[in-house]
């Protein structure tokens, strides 16, 4: 799967895929409506991805309190930003709000706290030499 997309866009994409997966599974159950237990099984199985999508949407709602809006320097449109590094919602420009990571090679690993700290420590070490 293409990872070069804005995080919020990607999470919403996953949730949408789950909704469709659930509906498709339930729809397939219609072919077995002569067999009630099999039909029921498909309906139940369809609820699993639907449940996941609800959890994802709920989680997006939770993290959206941590979302900040920044103006993209490339396309000058306000883009929703999550974490330390993310791609622009519109033009996929890699962006960072972390001063230490400015001008560095883009890597989504920097959203992981200990990897980011390790990177900054290594960079500081290099500068001291």
Which residues of the chain form contacts with Zn ion (CB under 5 A)? 72, 74-75, 88, 90-91, 93
CB of residue 89 to Zn ion, shortest distance in Å: 7
Count Cα neighbours of 70 within 13 Å in the Cβ-side half-sphere. Answer: 22
| Residue 4: strand, helix, or coil | coil
Count Cα neighbours of 11 within 13 Å in the Cβ-side half-sphere. Answer: 19
Measured from the CB atom, is 61 or 73 closer to Zn ion? 73
User: Which phi and psi angles does 70 have, rounded to 5°?
Assistant: -125, 155
Measured from the CB atom, is 26 or 88 closer to Zn ion? 88
Measured from the CB atom, is 5 or 74 closer to Zn ion? 74
CB of residue 99 to Zn ion, shortest distance in Å: 20
CB of residue 81 to Zn ion, shortest distance in Å: 11
Question: For 111-128, b where at least 16 C-beta lie within 10 A, e where not — what string?
Answer: eeeeebeebeeeeeeeee
CB of residue 9 to Zn ion, shortest distance in Å: 12
Measured from the CB atom, is 45 or 94 closer to Zn ion? 94
């Amino acid at each position: 799967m293409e990872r070069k997309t804005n995080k919020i866009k990607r999470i919403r994409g996953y949730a949408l895929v789950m909704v469709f997966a659930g509906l498709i599974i339930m729809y397939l159950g219609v072919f077995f409506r002569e067999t009630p237990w099999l039909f029921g099984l498909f309906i139940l199985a369809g609820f699993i991805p639907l449940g996941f999508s609800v959890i994802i949407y709920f989680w997006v709602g939770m993290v959206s309190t941590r979302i900040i809006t920044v103006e993209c320097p490339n396309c000058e449109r306000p883009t929703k930003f999550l974490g330390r590094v993310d791609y622009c919602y519109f033009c996929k420009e890699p962006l960072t709000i972390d001063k230490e990571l400015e001008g560095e090679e883009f890597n989504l690993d920097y959203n992981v706290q200990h990897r980011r700290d390790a990177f900054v420590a290594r960079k500081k070490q290099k500068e001291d030499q």
